[in-house]
């Protein structure tokens, strides 16, 4: 296969007997062009398999029709599901996506964002690996529109989309409380993340309002293998052991499942479990897992919408969009008694 020079706009122009400006106008739907000429241009372009050179177009216009996405990991279905949603949203508006993973590391995040920025993308969507998002100076400096996703503390100057974490976690807790559970265990990935902290608070509030004891919160990290070991002591003490567990991420959910199995605890007979995020394996699992479903598709679409708003008016105010989650009730939770009726004295 010999590498040949690609067809240029000039080639098309010559063959169609017009100027490159006209070709550009036709192909970019930019200025009114005589219909007959336009038809001819399009036909020649098709015949020659003409593909615009984006580098040249970009150099001239100063911005590429591309949105850059940086996520903490490409091996996590939550992030890849989000990317898929963004891709669906930008499709058909002529934008492509470039994606990069920060591997959950701030230094890498910074480097990856810098690299993405050198494409002069139309915008940048980032799921920061910590909620401080220290790479913000980079994006500020470049002037590229940015939308942050999911984890961000101090939602001041940056547009962002997220989920109502507190409400989602309350919903999970209320479900368990309604099933008569009084002692809950929260299995969190990392309390360094604002979204995880919010979820914890949601559970705490629900319990407090029901007049029940505060939940135990255990931090299990992001690595599945170690979760059972960390969890074991909390699940073994037969006496005041939690009867209901809320796992705050899908990895945590998997971890709880492993731990319970290793300890010979049956779900939901011995412990009820509410998971987070909603994947195919949760419904195929035995028992199917009751879980809080985050609207990934909406999140992706919203990120793109917000980005477009920033692109249209870079000077405008930052916006935030918060989505609600749904609880998919399945079979990993069971009633162990009547819900405690809240006692209001005074």
Partner DNA sequence: GTGAAAGCGCTAACAC
Partner DNA sequence: GTGTTAGCGCTTTCAC
The answer to the question of residue 251 lying near its own copies (CB under 8 A) is yes
The answer to the question of residue 214 lying near its own copies (CB under 8 A) is no
The answer to the question of residue 238 lying near DNA (CB under 7 A) is no
Q: For 185-221, b where at least 16 C-beta lie within 10 A, e where not — what string?
A: bbbbbbeebbbbbbbbebbbbbbeebebeebebbbbe
Using the Cα atoms of residue 72, residue 78, residue 79 and residue 82 in order, give the sign of their dihedral: negative
- Which of its own copies, DNA, none sits in contact with 10, Cβ below 5 to 8 A by type? DNA
Q: Which of 27, 37, 153, 224 binds its own copies (CB under 8 A)?
A: 224
Nearest distance from residue 125's CB to DNA, in Å? 24
The answer to the question of residue 43 lying near DNA (CB under 7 A) is no
The answer to the question of residue 110 lying near its own copies (CB under 8 A) is no
Bridge partners of 216, per DSSP, are: 185
The answer to the question of residue 11 lying near its own copies (CB under 8 A) is no
- Which of its own copies, DNA, none sits in contact with 34, Cβ below 5 to 8 A by type? DNA
DSSP letter string over 107-173? HHHHHHHHHHHTT-EEEEEE--SSTT-TTHHHHHHHT--EEEES--SS-SSSEEEEE-HHHHHHHHH
Q: What is the maximal distance between C-alpha atoms in the chain? A: 89
The answer to the question of residue 226 lying near its own copies (CB under 8 A) is no
- Region near DNA per CB under 7 A, out of 33-41, 288-296, 307-315, 324-332: 33-41
Cβ burial, residue 123 (10 Å; 0-12/13-18/19+):
buried
Q: Which is nearer to its own copies, 204 or 333 (CB)?
A: 333
252 phi, psi to nearest 5 deg:
-60, -40
Who's near 136: CB < 8 A, 6+ residues apart? 146, 158
Considering CB under 7 A, how many residues would be counted as binding DNA? 30
- State the Cα angle at 278 between 283 and 183, rounded to 5°: 90
Q: Which is nearer to DNA, 56 or 208 (CB)?
A: 56
Q: Which is nearer to its own copies, 261 or 326 (CB)?
A: 261
- Which of DNA, its own copies, none sits in contact with 251, Cβ below 5 to 8 A by type? its own copies
Nearest distance from residue 197's CB to its own copies, in Å? 24
- State the Cα angle at 92 between 90 and 93, rounded to 5°: 60
Nearest distance from residue 61's CB to its own copies, in Å? 9
**Cα distance between residue 145 and residue 143, in whole Å:** 6
Nearest distance from residue 37's CB to its own copies, in Å? 23
H helix runs in 215-267, sequence order: 227-236, 250-262
Q: Which residues in this chain contact its own copies in the complex, by CB under 8 A?
A: 1-4, 6, 49, 51-56, 58-59, 64, 66, 73-75, 77, 80-81, 83-84, 87, 96-101, 114-120, 138, 140-143, 157, 224, 251, 254-255, 257-258, 261, 279-281, 283-286, 314-315
Q: Which residues in this chain contact DNA in the complex, by CB under 7 A?
A: 5-6, 8-10, 17-25, 27-28, 30-34, 37, 52-53, 56-57, 59-62
């Amino acid at each position: 296969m010999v590498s040949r020079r690609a067809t240029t706009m000039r080639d098309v122009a010559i063959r169609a007997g017009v100027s490159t400006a006209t070709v550009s106008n036709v192909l970019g739907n930019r200025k009114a062009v005589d219909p007959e000429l336009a038809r001819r241009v399009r036909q020649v372009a098709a015949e020659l398999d003409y593909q615009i050179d984006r580098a040249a177009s970009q150099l001239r216009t100063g911005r590429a029709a591309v949105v850059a996405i940086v996520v903490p990991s490409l091996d996590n279905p939550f992030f890849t599901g989000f990317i898929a949603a963004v891709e669906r949203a930008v499709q058909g508006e002529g934008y492509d996506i470039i994606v990069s993973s920060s591997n959950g590391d701030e230094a890498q995040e910074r480097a990856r964002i810098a690299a993405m920025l050198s494409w002069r993308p139309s915008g940048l969507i980032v799921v920061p690996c910590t909620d401080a998002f220290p790479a913000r100076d980079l994006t500020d400096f470049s002037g590229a529109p940015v939308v942050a996703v999911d984890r961000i503390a101090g939602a001041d100057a940056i547009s962002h989309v997220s989920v109502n974490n507190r409400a989602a976690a309350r919903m999970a807790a209320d479900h368990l409380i309604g099933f008569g559970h009084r002692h809950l265990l929260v299995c969190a990935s990392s309390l360094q993340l604002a979204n995880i902290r919010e979820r914890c608070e949601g559970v705490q509030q629900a319990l407090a309002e029901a007049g029940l004891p505060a939940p135990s919160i255990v931090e299990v990290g992001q690595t599945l293998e170690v979760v059972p070991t960390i969890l074991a002591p909390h699940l073994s003490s037969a006496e005041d052991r939690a009867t209901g567990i809320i796992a705050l991420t899908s990895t945590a959910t998997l971890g709880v499942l492993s731990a319970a199995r290793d300890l010979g605890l049956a779900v939901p007979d011995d412990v009820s479990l509410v998971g987070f995020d909603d994947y195919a394996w949760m419904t195929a699992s035995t028992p199917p897992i009751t879980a809080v479903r985050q609207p990934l598709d909406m999140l992706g679409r919203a990120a793109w919408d917000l980005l477009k708003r920033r692109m249209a008016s870079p000077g405008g105010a930052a916006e935030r969009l918060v989505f609600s989650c749904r609880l998919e009730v399945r079979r990993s939770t069971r009633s162990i008694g009547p819900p405690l009726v809240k006692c209001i004295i005074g």
